């Protein structure tokens, strides 16, 4: 049988794995790529290729070899100029090479959002030296959040609350940055009431939204998420309007995770992923079609049906705490036995652990009750899952 489409997936983590499952259900052939073998998405894909997504020659060779209908980035750290080259040659990059390029660098997407589109963001300046960061502190005042312009999952990110913390923030950002551009964004710390991810689908038949997802972050990385996030109609409308503008500016088809901070009815744009979002894993139990199904449908040009919530739901992460390739994940039976909710879990099958590496997630949906009840169930399920490590080598 001829596949529905041939997909080259760049990055093969847990989000990629669910995307492979969604696209395979629609008859696609998927080649999963990552820098290491047996990555989560490779375990369920048709073929795998191991190379660094930052290696332009290897990336070009993989595109030439497989001649995919769709090139689907799953991570930010990709040699995006190569994607632009292949897009110019007629290949389809999801959602667009521009989106991959703009979101890889915080400064590119922030300037586009704040300056070109006029969205409300925190006040910010860039700094390319320790001295410039001190100047930024003087200009914007404290507290400030400092982040490398190229990083994800909170890497290199810290909050400066007193002037004396400025040097440490610079060093931390310099150590946590990716790529070779030593530049940080210093932005006003927003004392938000809550933050959300608005999953926004740009499809052939227009723009669609999932109900807002609330989440809690620690060390710049997500710990739990829930859906729906309680929000005023005015705040939700403001977030939807901003999300529409930004996805239209980036173009292409697919699902985007648009992040906002909310304080009262004030909605502040933070950043976005032009692909499924980690906090959106809650949709694996909360919605008729999850974020991976929606991404696949949008990419393939299929219609997007009405998105309905099956019940208040939540996800909670399972993290490792050390480096090991000799470990065991136990307690799944106890986790799935948590009552008062429909409970599910994903164990990602990553071959090695690292401190704070996400190894799995628990999911909970309640038949009646609110997101608070779902959060409690997902958290107690996550507490049952244990990573036991073998003797250290």
Ligand X SMILES: Nc1ncnc2c1ncn2[C@@H]1O[C@H](COP(=O)(O)OP(=O)(O)OP(=O)(O)O)[C@@H](O)[C@H]1O
From residue 351, give the alpha-carbon distance in Å to each of 156, 325, 346.
25, 6, 15
CB of 263 to ligand X, least distance (A): 10
Pairing state between β 158-160 and 144-148: antiparallel
Q: Which one of residues 190, 199, 243, 296 is an interface residue with ligand X (CB under 6 A)? A: 190
Does residue 153 bind ligand X (CB under 6 A)? yes
Q: Is 358 a catalytic residue?
A: yes
Task: Considering only the stretches 16-24, 25-33, 82-90, 144-152, report the one whose residues sit in contact with ligand X under the rule CB under 6 A.
Answer: 144-152
111 interacts with ligand X by CB under 6 A: no
Least Cα distance to 251 among 59, 93, 91 occurs for: 93
| Pairing label, strands 266-273, 254-263 | antiparallel
Dihedrals φ, ψ of 224, to 5°? -150, 150
Q: Which DSSP string corresponds to 195-209?
A: EEEEEEEEETTEEEE
Please give the span between the terminal C-alpha atoms of the chain, in angstroms, as a whole number. 48
Binding status of residue 194 toward ligand X by CB under 6 A: no
**Closest distance of CB 166 from ligand X, Å:** 16
Our CB check for ligand X shows the closer of 135 and 217 to be 217
Residue 202: active-site member: no
- Asked if residue 99 binds ligand X (CB under 6 A), the reply is no
Among 12, 23, 80, 279, the one annotated catalytic:
279
Q: Which of 107, 271, 334, 340 is catalytic?
A: 271
For residue 85, CA distances in Å to 108, 190, 390 come to 19, 38, 46
Q: From CA 262, how far away is CA 190, in angstroms rounded?
A: 9
Compare residues 208 and 277 and give the one whose CB is closer to ligand X.
277
Query: Shortest gap between Cβ of 344 and ligand X (angstroms)?
Result: 22
Residue whose structure tokens are 């949906």:
365
Q: Using DSSP, state whether 119 is helix, strand or coil.
A: coil
At which residue do the structure tokens 């909360």 appear? 286
From the list 152, 197, 200, 313, the catalytic residue is: 152
Beta-strand runs (E) in the chain: 6-10, 29-34, 47-50, 70-73, 92-93, 124-127, 144-148, 158-160, 184-188, 194-203, 206-209, 213-218, 221-227, 254-263, 266-273, 313-319, 327-330, 342-347, 358-365, 386-389
Count the residues of the shown chain that bind ligand X, applying the rule CB under 6 A: 18
Residues 14 to 33: which contact ligand X by CB under 6 A?
none
Helix, strand, coil percentages (3-state) for the chain, rounded to 5, are 35, 30, 35
Q: Assess whether 259 carries a catalytic annotation.
A: yes
Active-site residue flag, 158: no
State in angstroms the smallest separation of the CB of 213 from ligand X.
12
In the annotation, is 35 catalytic?
A: no
Nearest to 387 by CA among 324, 301, 310, 343: 324
Nearer to ligand X, 60 or 179 (CB): 179
Can you tell me which of 96, 122, 158, 227 binds ligand X, judged by CB under 6 A? 122
**Of 51, 91, 126, 189, the one binding ligand X by CB under 6 A:** 189
**Can 322 be counted among the known catalytic residues?**
no
Nearest approach in angstroms of CB 315 to ligand X is 14
Residues 236-275 that bind ligand X (CB under 6 A): 259, 270-271
Question: Quick one: which segment of 133-141, 148-156, 199-207, 371-379 binds ligand X (CB under 6 A)?
Answer: 148-156
| Whether 76 is catalytic | no
Q: Which stretch binds ligand X (CB under 6 A): 183-191, 235-243, 288-296, 308-316?
A: 183-191
CB 224 within 8 Å of CB 194: no
**Segment interacting with ligand X, rule: CB under 6 A, options 82-90, 153-161, 199-207, 374-382:** 153-161
Residue 187 in contact with ligand X, rule: CB under 6 A: yes
C-alpha span between 353 and 41 (Å, rounded): 17
CB-closest chain residue to ligand X: 152
Q: Indicate which residues carry an active-site annotation.
A: 152, 154, 259, 271, 278-279, 358
Q: Which residues bind ligand X (CB under 6 A)?
A: 122, 145, 147, 151-154, 157, 187, 189-190, 195, 217, 220-221, 259, 270-271
């Amino acid at each position: 049988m001829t596949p529905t489409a041939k997909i080259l997936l760049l990055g093969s983590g847990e989000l990629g794995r669910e995307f492979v499952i969604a696209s395979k259900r629609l008859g696609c052939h998927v080649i999963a790529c990552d820098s290491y073998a047996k990555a989560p998405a490779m375990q369920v894909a048709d073929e795998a290729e191991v190379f660094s997504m930052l290696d332009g020659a290897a990336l070009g060779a993989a595109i030439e070899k497989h001649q995919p209908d769709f090139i689907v980035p799953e991570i930010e750290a990709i040699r995006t100029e190569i994607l632009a080259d292949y897009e110019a040659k007629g290949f389809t990059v999801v959602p667009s090479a521009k989106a991959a390029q703009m979101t890889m660098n915080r400064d590119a997407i922030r300037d586009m959002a704040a300056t070109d589109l006029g969205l409300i963001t925190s006040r910010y300046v860039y700094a390319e030296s320790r001295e410039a960061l001190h100047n930024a502190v003087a200009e914007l005042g404290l507290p400030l959040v400092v982040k490398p312009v190229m990083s994800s999952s909170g890497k290199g990110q810290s909050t400066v609350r007193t002037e004396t913390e400025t040097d440490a923030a610079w060093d931390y950002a310099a150590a946590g940055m990716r790529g070779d551009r030593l530049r940080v964004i210093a932005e006003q710390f927003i004392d938000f009431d809550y933050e959300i991810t608005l999953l926004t689908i740009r499809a052939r038949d227009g723009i669609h939204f999932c109900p807002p997802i609330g989440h809690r972050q620690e060390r710049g990385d997500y710990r739990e998420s829930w859906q729906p996030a309680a929000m005023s109609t005015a705040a939700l409308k403001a977030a939807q309007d901003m999300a529409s503008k930004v996805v239209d500016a980036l173009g292409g088809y697919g699902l985007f995770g648009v992040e906002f901070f909310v304080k009262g009815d004030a909605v502040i744009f933070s950043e976005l992923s032009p692909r499924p979002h980690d906090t959106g894993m809650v949709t694996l139990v909360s919605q008729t079609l999850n974020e991976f199904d929606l991404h696949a449908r949008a990419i393939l040009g299929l219609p997007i049906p009405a998105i309905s919530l099956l019940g208040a739901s939540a996800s909670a992460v399972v993290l490792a705490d050390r480096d090991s390739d000799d470990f065991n994940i136990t307690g799944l039976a106890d986790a799935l036995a948590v009552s008062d909710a429909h409970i599910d879990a994903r164990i990602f099958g990553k071959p090695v652990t690292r401190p704070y590496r996400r190894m799995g997630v628990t999911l909970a949906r309640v038949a009646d009750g609110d997101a608070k009840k779902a959060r409690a169930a997902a958290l107690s399920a996550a507490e049952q899952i244990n990573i036991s490590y073998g003797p250290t080598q």
